[in-house]
Amino acid sequence: MPTWKEKLVGRMDQQLAEEIDIFETQMVLRRQGKLDEKIFAETRLRRGCYGQRYDNGHRHDGIRTQQLPYLSDVTKGPETLWDAPGMQRIKIPFGGVTPNQLDTLADLAEEYADSVLHVTTRQDFQLHYVHIEDTPDLMRRLAAVGITTREACGNSVRNVTACPLAGVCRSEVFDVTPYAKACSKFLLGHPDTQGFGRKFKIAFSGCKDEACALTSMHDMGCIAVKRIENGKERRGFELYVGGGLGAVPHQAKLFEEFLPAEELLPIAQAISRVFARLGEKKNRAAARIKFLVTKLGIEEFRRIVLEERKIMPADDRWTGYLSNVDRYQETPKRQPARLNGHDRPEGFEAWSRTNVYAQRQAGYAVVTVTLPLGDLSASQSRQLAKIARRFSGDNIRTTVEQNIVLRWISEADLPDLYRELKRIGLAQPGAGTIVDVTACPGTDTCKLGIASSRGLAAEIRNRLSEKFFTLEDAVKNLHIKISGCFNSCGQHHIADLGFYGTSRTIGNRKVPHFQVVLGGKWQQNAAAYGLAIGTVPSKRIPEVVELLTERYVRERSGNENFQEFVKRIGKPELRRMLELFMDVPSFESDPSYYSDWGDPRVFTIGDLGMGECAGEVVSTVQFDLANAERLVFESQLKLDEEDYAEADALAYKAMLQAAIALVRTEFHDVPDHPNTIVNEFRTRFYDTNVLGDRYAGNKFAQYLFRRHEAPTSVYTRDYAHRIVEEAQLFIEAVYACHDSLSERGTVGISAKSPVQVGKATP
């Protein structure tokens, strides 16, 4: 039977292909019980394979909690059954995607998921209801079109986002695209980003005033700035650190007013090292970098980062990309032409008012394709790719508002483009307006969702769309963002009207509610967060939207914006307005309150699962040792295949991997060279007898030294068998040594005792 692996040979980047092979082996090890479920959980998260609601094998069906009897009781993480479908997150750095990539994404959605592509608030794509067995092939097919899922989830650098107008924006300082791309590539899989206690999010913005990149809510936000120095223009970034939403939102702090472009990557690396070293590891609720910055203070944090910067080994990649930055450009598919006198189909004018943005390049426009709830079908995706090929070329980007933009559209083509989009159901007007509601997955698929954010978003969108053309402009331009829980994946803090799901008990029953958060500032890169005003039953939220917007229109003074209006009205008065909707009738008199939007089941929070976005806190040592074990496993397979030379090579590699794991606890930047690794290991752990204090570890160290110093040239079965056995014993000794050091508090958490569980945001 043919396989994708064979079919795609030569079409995948070799490193990506190897990583996927390794993941496939890790899956085998986990199924055989040879890889700890917590380590495997973080491993798969770092490949973008995320859990999904009900994957613990339980689901409330509206009457009772059913046990879902999957055939296998193997787990792919704590309380996460192997056979249960999950979500696959696919990283799209700065949202840049090509028609060919869209075609592949469509194919994967059809064959491995539910035929739907979902755009997230981090410009990623997500596929739902994916079986883990399908993920290696899914990843290979993505790799063949230049996409990786690596570090899409887990305690890692998440998708690097950027303004979707970068390069064509009328108000940007310069195009941040090549910097975002370089940053994403540099930090992907970088050793210094593997030891985080939580995720790390980076955004790039071309200007300070617009909202597009939301830098203030990021762990690291970069805003383009220029300076004239010695008569010469110099590019750089206003750099912010320590922002974030979640349950405890923080505004990012100014780290540097002008960080020269050549310092961008080294400072990003230095920040990563400091975060990995000093960031919280045990209490995941305080493990984001925002807590570290707050704890240390921005001045001290800056000082430590700059000290770190000084001692880091130089890396050519820090500036290697800069020579190409000026050459970075996108190729339009069509010649520029003004829209003059062309036939304009019905609906075109309204659509173009909200969905068309005139580029700074004359004759070209950016078109926003509005995706209801961030969703598009596989069929739409494939047809959109065709449309892009005709009008836009490779210039497609996803947005943090869960839409897609087509750039470099010749203005004269806009009517034809509109007709084509309308034909496939993607020409809804209202992009970036109040009807363009953002929502996280919520209870539809998220393990942590409390209330139905998507259900509410759909309801609000439907109601407002009916009267969209009669709404005042002041209302049209408001933003609504909804999260299914306090974790803020829907970014409710930065909306004019934000909502997050919660639950209240009335009598003996649960009622879905939403906390109302008002007056967040979307503009100026998410400059201010909203105020929580009160909790309202889910079913009354659309009326809350209506009442608030009507009053805003009626009572706003002059050009007063919504944030100013909310501030002027004041929290007590806003609260009084909400109180009109807070009462919940008894179940007997109105049961509709006791179920959520779009879900007729009686509401429950019994389906809440254990979040895993931040996953387990798995240290770099744990990963290195798990990797060593995988290599031993592969050496065993080679032994069985009678490939003794390869078995020997892999077993040796496994021992080196285990050794470097331990060395790195003392010497972070140890060069990855066998002689250095062995020498450092000998000096630090053998000569000092540190390895030898448990299970005769020093004896096992001899296995490494002997193989390193005297490799054989004659490979026999007996020889290979012995080396494989010795490698296994050596790894066990390293584990024991690390555990011993951990107990004494000499190094971080135990390699075999990860302790933290996490939660989700995209």
Partner 1 sequence: MDLYRLGIKFFDVAGERIEPTEFIPIFHEWIQKQTIENHLLIDVHNYSHIHDGPGILLVAHQGNFSIERADDRIGLLYYRKQPVQTFTEIIKPAVQGCRLLENDARLRPRLRFRTDEVLIVANDRLLAPNDDETFSALEPQVSSALNHVLGKSFGLTRISDDSKERLIIRAQA
| Residue 73 CB, nearest approach to partner 1 (Å) | 14
Q: Does 714 bind partner 1 (CB under 8 A)?
A: no
Helix runs in 321-431, H state only: 322-325, 348-355, 378-391, 414-423
Taking CB under 8 A as the binding criterion, the range among 233-241, 315-323, 479-487, 593-601 that sits at the site for partner 1 is 593-601
Q: How many residues does the chain have?
A: 762
What is the separation of C-alpha 465 from the centre of its chain, rounded to a whole number of angstroms?
30
Q: Does 145 bind partner 1 (CB under 8 A)?
A: no
Q: Does 59 bind partner 1 (CB under 8 A)?
A: yes
| Residue 371 CB, nearest approach to partner 1 (Å) | 9
Bridge pairing between strands 404-410 and 364-369: antiparallel
Query: Please, which residues bridge with residue 397 across strands?
Result: 96, 405
Query: Please, which residues bridge with residue 87 across strands?
Result: 50
If the CB atoms of residues 134 and 560 are measured against partner 1, the closer one turns out to be: 134
Residues 611-630 that bind partner 1 (CB under 8 A): none
If the CB atoms of residues 52 and 193 are measured against partner 1, the closer one turns out to be: 52
Q: How many residues bind partner 1 (CB under 8 A)?
A: 46
Q: Does 750 bind partner 1 (CB under 8 A)?
A: no
d(CA 241, CA 478): 27
If the CB atoms of residues 63 and 311 are measured against partner 1, the closer one turns out to be: 63
d(CA 757, CA 610): 8
If the CB atoms of residues 116 and 409 are measured against partner 1, the closer one turns out to be: 116
Spatial CB neighbours of 377, under 8 Å, sequence gap ≥ 6? 109, 115, 116, 117
Q: Does 63 bind partner 1 (CB under 8 A)?
A: yes
Give the CA distances from residue 36 to residues 260, 332, 512, 552, 760, in Å, rounded to whole numbers and listed in that order: 44, 50, 37, 56, 21
| Residue 400 CB, nearest approach to partner 1 (Å) | 20
Contact between 337 and 412 under an 8 Å Cβ cutoff? The reply is yes
Identity (one letter) of the amino acid at 718? D
| Residue 375 CB, nearest approach to partner 1 (Å) | 5
| Residue 285 CB, nearest approach to partner 1 (Å) | 29
If the CB atoms of residues 420 and 444 are measured against partner 1, the closer one turns out to be: 444
Give the CA distances from residue 529 to residues 442, 496, 498, in Å, rounded to whole numbers and listed in that order: 21, 9, 10
| Residue 113 CB, nearest approach to partner 1 (Å) | 9
Spell out the SS3 assignment of 101-168.
Answer: HHHHHHHHHHHHCCCEEEECCCCCEEEEEECHHHHHHHHHHHHCCCCCCCCCCCCCECCCEECCCCCC
3-state helix, strand, coil in the chain (%, to 5): 45, 15, 40
Taking CB under 8 A as the binding criterion, the range among 31-39, 108-116, 195-203, 515-523 that sits at the site for partner 1 is 108-116
d(CA 537, CA 499): 11
| Residue 107 CB, nearest approach to partner 1 (Å) | 6
Give the residue among 185, 186, 222, 183 at the shortest CA–CA distance from 204: 222
Give the residue among 436, 423, 407 at the shortest CA–CA distance from 345: 423
| Residue 462 CB, nearest approach to partner 1 (Å) | 9
Taking CB under 8 A as the binding criterion, the range among 243-251, 320-328, 423-431, 482-490 that sits at the site for partner 1 is 423-431
Taking CB under 8 A as the binding criterion, the range among 56-64, 539-547, 553-561, 731-739 that sits at the site for partner 1 is 56-64
Q: Does 93 bind partner 1 (CB under 8 A)?
A: no
| Residue 378 CB, nearest approach to partner 1 (Å) | 8
Among 19, 36, 42, 103, binds partner 1 (CB under 8 A): 103
Spatial CB neighbours of 565, under 8 Å, sequence gap ≥ 6? 552, 555, 556
d(CA 387, CA 65): 46
Q: What SS3 state is found at 225?
A: strand
* Residue 313 CB neighbour total at 10 angstroms: 6
Spatial CB neighbours of 370, under 8 Å, sequence gap ≥ 6? 355, 403, 426, 428, 429, 430, 431, 436
Among 13, 18, 62, 209, binds partner 1 (CB under 8 A): 62
If the CB atoms of residues 462 and 702 are measured against partner 1, the closer one turns out to be: 462
| Residue 70 CB, nearest approach to partner 1 (Å) | 7
Taking CB under 8 A as the binding criterion, the range among 3-11, 293-301, 406-414, 501-509 that sits at the site for partner 1 is 3-11
Q: What SS3 state is found at 283?
A: coil
If the CB atoms of residues 129 and 328 are measured against partner 1, the closer one turns out to be: 129
Q: Does 83 bind partner 1 (CB under 8 A)?
A: yes
Q: Does 523 bind partner 1 (CB under 8 A)?
A: no
Residues 436-495 that bind partner 1 (CB under 8 A): 444-445, 455, 458
If the CB atoms of residues 120 and 657 are measured against partner 1, the closer one turns out to be: 120
If the CB atoms of residues 145 and 322 are measured against partner 1, the closer one turns out to be: 145
Q: Does 550 bind partner 1 (CB under 8 A)?
A: no
Taking CB under 8 A as the binding criterion, the range among 338-346, 369-377, 608-616, 688-696 that sits at the site for partner 1 is 369-377
| Residue 701 CB, nearest approach to partner 1 (Å) | 47
d(CA 670, CA 663): 7
Structure tokens at 242: 């320590």
Taking CB under 8 A as the binding criterion, the range among 62-70, 192-200, 472-480, 700-708 that sits at the site for partner 1 is 62-70
Among 21, 24, 114, 330, binds partner 1 (CB under 8 A): 114
Strand arrangement, sheet containing 232-241: 161-162, 202-205, 220-229, 232-241, 253-260
Is the alpha carbon torsion for 578, 580, 584, 589 positive or negative? negative
If the CB atoms of residues 440 and 626 are measured against partner 1, the closer one turns out to be: 440
Give the residue among 272, 313, 269 at the shortest CA–CA distance from 292: 272
On the CB side of 553, CA atoms within 13 Å amount to 14
Q: Does 692 bind partner 1 (CB under 8 A)?
A: no
Helix runs in 251-377, H state only: 264-278, 289-296, 298-311, 317-320, 322-325, 348-355
| Residue 481 CB, nearest approach to partner 1 (Å) | 17
Q: Does 376 bind partner 1 (CB under 8 A)?
A: yes
| Residue 433 CB, nearest approach to partner 1 (Å) | 17
Taking CB under 8 A as the binding criterion, the range among 55-63, 275-283, 567-575, 579-587 that sits at the site for partner 1 is 55-63
Among 22, 31, 37, 115, binds partner 1 (CB under 8 A): 115
Q: Does 69 bind partner 1 (CB under 8 A)?
A: yes
Among 34, 58, 131, 389, binds partner 1 (CB under 8 A): 131
Is the alpha carbon torsion for 304, 305, 306, 310 positive or negative? positive
Q: Does 599 bind partner 1 (CB under 8 A)?
A: yes
Phi, psi (degrees; rounded to nearest 5) at 517: -120, 120
Catalog residues that contact partner 1 under the rule CB under 8 A. Answer: 1-4, 7, 53-54, 59, 61-63, 66, 68-70, 83, 85, 103, 107, 110-111, 114-116, 128-129, 131, 372-373, 375-377, 379-380, 382, 424-426, 444-445, 455, 458, 598-601
